Amino acid sequence: MKTLWLIVGICFLITSCQKGPKEIMYGHENCEFCSMTIMDDKHAAQIVTNTGKVYVYDSIECMLRSLEFYGENADQIVVMDFNNPGSYLNASEATYLIAPRLPSPMGANLSAFATGEDALNVGFDGTLYTWETIRKHIK
Amino acid sequence: MTIFITSLCVQAQITVCTTCTISSIQQGIDLATAYDTVFVEEGVYFEYNIAIGKPLTILGENGAIIDGQKQGTILKVQTTNATISGLTLRHVGLSHTEEYAAVHVSNTKHFTLNRLTVEDAFFGFLIEGSSKGRITNNKLSGESEMEFYSGNGIHAWKSKELVITENEIRNLRDGIYLEFVDNSEVVNNLSENNIRYGLHFMFSNNNAYSNNTFTKNGAGVAVMFSKFIEMKDNHFLNNWGTASFGLLLKEIYDAEITGNTFDENTVAIAVEGSSRITYQHNKLSANGWGVKMSGGCYSNKFLSNAFSNNSFDVSFNSRLNDNEFTGNYWSTYSGYDLNKDGIGDVPHRPVKLFSYVVNKTPESIVLLRSFFVDLINFTENVAPVFTPVDLIDNSPLMRVPS
């Protein structure tokens, strides 16, 4: 029994020390940049800083706009995969689609996909961007 | 000529009922000519994607129900001068990528949605690129259990001159959501128990909302990135929660906020980067925060408001102040009125030092009622060091203004 508690305790210690994106409580947390309640599990994004602080965003455009403040200290930046709500993509590896018919929470009509092919297959006309180009496009 | 005129004047009526030869609403619409009335008798019609492509009135009898069987959008308005009235619309489709609605109005003018009941909506009314619409006396509700599988009650995008009155909206994402919507009015609506906001403006200018009640929503009303919004005589009640507020103003300019009531909200008015706003005759009672300002807020005026029994009346995150507070009632005011003119003889400082501490370290709120906190608040009040020196009401009222 003692060992069990020890293992549980260690597990807690390890998990609490891990640095990474967190689970967003939809409907209860506000976007760091625009203060809107986060509701959309297809467009959320997060920035994890070097110190492990996690900033959550309701949309990729809000995350991009706040890179100005937190970008330098960012350890990880993740964006939600539009096709797999709940699973994050590394922001620098994702492909971005701006499609006027595919709205996102803050009006940029911007979604992220694992590959360019996924972005085209979703069936909305638009423009594709990489991490480098989208950062220049929205800031 | 006479025949021509009569044919113009006489509007035919087409009756649809479940046992008639015309047993579907789409059939009725297809048979009708422009400006006819399609009368829908009592009964349940299992239809979706009903397209209205010519100016028509679709009138439902009491008990006329269109059931979308969760397949998609129920009614699609693609014409000018369409009126839809008296129907119950239920079981709108749910989708990941498509925004299905009970009524979808796109690229049109002069439409009326009146006395409709929408049950189990994904989106209620979805209005795109349209103008001069009247949305009145409707009841919309959703059954959203999953936050992200909920749509907005009345969702308008790139539209103008809408009149939204006397609607009741419950259990949706945002009760009313307006994005790129100008010159519109939202009056006398009730928006309650919605997951996110009762009413939400984004990038929308020159709008007014008045006499609405927003209660028990995730948060009351959010006005964001908009100019010239008039907010009058609304009620913001019971918006409780860590991330909740009665009214959120984010980067808005030149607004008038008059005669509103804010009761029992975590934050009555949360203001971020908003300037040239006049707050007049509002009543803020029993809120956690009355007005919580952050970011650059300049040239705002607070005149004749009543701040009663809020934990913090005003909180501010900067040492500079360019806002005016004149003639407000503060229940925390401890001054006196020797000449009995109803105006306190010593100025009032509404910002407590402790609110700065709480802004930095929210957990410290547990110390709110402690003697130590009273002490630092008092010291700061006597000799302001951290709070803006000029954030002061020189003529605090002794009584709640009527």
- Average per-residue pLDDT for chain B: 90
Measured in whole angstroms, the distance separating CA B280 from the mean position of its chain's CA atoms is: 19
Are the Cβ atoms of A37 and B219 closer than 8 angstroms? yes
Residues of B in contact with A39 (CB under 8 A): 147-148, 150, 173, 195-196
User: CA B354 → CA B285, B350, B366, distances in Å?
Assistant: 20, 12, 11
Q: Beta B261-263 vs A54-57: how paired, if at all?
A: unpaired
Best residue of A24, A38, A39, A118 to probe chain B, by most B CBs closer than 10 Å: A39
Q: How far apart are CA A54 and CA A50, in angstroms?
A: 10
pLDDT at site B321 = 82
Q: How far apart are CA A120 and CA A59, in angstroms?
A: 20
* pLDDT tens-place string over residues B340-361: 999 999 999 888 888 888 878 8
Tell me which residue of A59, A58, A113 sits closest to A88, measured CA to CA: A113
Which secondary-structure segment (H or E) carries B100?
Answer: none
ipTM surpassing 0.95: no
State the smallest CA–CA distance between residue B147 and chain A in angstroms.
6
Best residue of A30, A32, A35 to probe chain B, by most B CBs closer than 10 Å: A35
pLDDT at site B1 = 44
pLDDT at site B146 = 62
pLDDT at site B7 = 47
Residues of B in contact with A106 (CB under 8 A): 202
Q: How far apart are CA B393 and CA B58, in angstroms?
A: 57
Ranges of each domain in chain B: 234-402
* pLDDT tens-place string over residues B360-399: 887 888 888 888 888 888 888 777 777 787 889 999 999 9
pLDDT at site A9 = 64
Are the Cβ atoms of A28 and B173 closer than 8 angstroms? no
Are the Cβ atoms of A37 and B218 closer than 8 angstroms? yes
Buried b (16+ CB within 10 A) or exposed e, B139-151: bbbbebeebbebb
For residues B77-105, average pLDDT: 92
pLDDT tier at B6 (50, 70, 90 boundaries)? very low
- CB of B201 closer than 8 Å to CB of B212: no
Q: For residue B388, what are its two tokens?
A: 């803006």
- CB of A58 closer than 8 Å to CB of A26: no
- Average per-residue pLDDT for chain A: 87
Tell me which residue of B152, B110, B106, B108 sits closest to B127, measured CA to CA: B106
Residue B217 has pLDDT above 60, yes or no: yes
User: Residue A110 burial by CB count (10 A; 0-12/13-18/19+): exposed, middle or buried?
Assistant: buried
pLDDT at site A71 = 85
Torsion of CA B367, B371, B373, B374, to 10 degrees: 140
Contact residues, chain A to chain B, C-beta under 8 Å: 26-30, 34-37, 39-42, 85, 102-103, 106-107, 122-123
Are the Cβ atoms of A39 and B147 closer than 8 angstroms? yes
Are the Cβ atoms of A26 and B173 closer than 8 angstroms? no
Contact pairs from chain A to chain B, CB under 8 Å = 49
* pLDDT tens-place string over residues B132-167: 999 999 999 988 666 667 889 999 999 999 999 999
Q: How far apart are CA B248 and CA B291, in angstroms?
A: 10
For residues B200-206, average pLDDT: 95
Residues of B in contact with A28 (CB under 8 A): 218, 241-243
Ranges of each domain in chain A: 28-137
pLDDT tier at B317 (50, 70, 90 boundaries)? confident
Q: For residue B322, what are its two tokens?
A: 């360019």
Are the Cβ atoms of A42 and B96 closer than 8 angstroms? yes
